[in-house]
Structure 1
């Protein structure tokens, strides 16, 4: 079952249910599928990006990464079962992959973050098989030679789960364009999770995560990179939710109604 928030259909699964579905599909080596983890920023980007919208419609799972989505769902009287944070999902899936003998590949992140995340996770779960890490250069998506090299590396290592940390919507668009060719059972876009697991980016205190103020902590830690996203984005998201609550939301629009974040 999916519920609608500002035109985006989001799965109504608990964290444990999401983990179970992903592991089951990866273990059975089913047809290539992908998981998207929306937050308020994704909701805004989706309002004006038709390709991003189509990618979301075809996703295996659409799980609520941001607490703001839980608040919006409650206001709209269609409550979700809880947050499925991308970093928590990444760590939990790696823990179970270690138990189940599933192979994983880490693609993206800042230079060195995927390798540091690998070191951290393998120290926690010694049996975890991280069969590859790679940080592609800036602009790689327009470099055919680089794209072919990445794909060949992933295919050769044959992971069960591919974690992609390229930021939205780049990671989702890359996954959607390549997942069938790669043949990886499950691909998951996880944003800055490599950096957080490796402590290259400090994660907010648990209380701030639970109360929905993780965005404020991240803004304080990386103000130059994130100020536009949160200062302009948060009010716009709130306005869209209010419009939906009042019955005034008419669906996606291709009009540029807010700044790019």
Structure 2
């Protein structure tokens, strides 16, 4: 599989169709319990500032680019990524694939009833989709040993082929990394707000905004208090490291 190294992150250079094929292979391989990450700009900044998060990304089995700015940057530095494969786009496509292959899926995350509603909507869309479990964990579950054990037992009992975790980054990736060998699912991936998008509790930005790199702005307009710090303080340094990446690529080519 072709890889692109950029901004201290290794990206697997696959399009959506290739991604589905790789995950299908991972499900059937069963040599270890694998996980998928989908870095966007915010994740890249966390990788560059948090050694523990960087380790989680380094050891991931599949790293997909979830952000149009990263795709554009890859082209500017002469390492073009094929296309954005976001967790929110991959989630329904992978559920469709699971339905066609009779794979079992489990949804962990979201507010009360959201994962159930998402499962209901997806089963209407993909008639053979087998959702073997949904669970809304309480706030702070990742630090509660009893709650963690409860979640792991639920997943073990359901025995899914794919686990979707929607509790936001970096919590979802960290929880998967720390617990995947306990709940023993072939493939796990974090999907952020995808349950809400499918359930209809949160409206996703229009397609034109996604293509024009404005999905972040749409989300900011919906939740300005929660997202102001992330987008305008924590992620603002991205412009600086992107310019440095472009400069390094120019120097190498010269």
Same fold (TM over 0.5): yes
Aligned equivalents of 1:26, 1:115: Cα separation in 2 = 24
List aligned pairs for 1:20-169, cutoff 5 A.
20-169=21-170
Tell me, yes or no, if the aligned pair for 2:45 and 2:235 is still in contact at 8 Å. Answer: no
Aligned equivalents of 1:143, 1:130: Cα separation in 2 = 26
Aligned equivalents of 1:154, 1:107: Cα separation in 2 = 9
SS in 2 for 1:13: coil
Unaligned runs of 5+ in 2: 250-254
Asked if 1:183 is matched to 2:184, the reply is yes
Count of aligned positions: 248
**Deviation sequence 1:6-64 (CA, Å, 0-9, x none):** 11111111111111111222144442100000000001111121111111111110000
**How far has the Cα of 1:166 moved from its partner?**
1.2
Tell me, yes or no, if the aligned pair for 2:105 and 2:161 is still in contact at 8 Å. Answer: yes
**How far has the Cα of 1:247 moved from its partner?**
2.7
Is 149-158 or 237-246 further displaced after alignment? 237-246
SS in 1 for 2:106: strand
Tell me, yes or no, if the aligned pair for 1:13 and 1:81 is still in contact at 8 Å. Answer: yes
Residue in 2 aligned with 1:256?
none
**Deviation sequence 1:130-186 (CA, Å, 0-9, x none):** 000111101111111100000000001000000001111111110011111211000
Tell me, yes or no, if the aligned pair for 2:105 and 2:132 is still in contact at 8 Å. Answer: yes
TM-score, normalised to structure 2, is: 0.94
SS in 1 for 2:236: helix
Change (3 A) 1:26 1:146: same
Residue in 1 aligned with 2:6?
5
More relative contact order, 1 or 2 (CA 8 Å, 6+ apart): 1
Aligned equivalents of 1:28, 1:60: Cα separation in 2 = 12
SS in 2 for 1:31: coil
Unaligned runs of 5+ in 1: 249-261
**How far has the Cα of 1:232 moved from its partner?**
2.4
Is 179-188 or 229-238 further displaced after alignment? 229-238
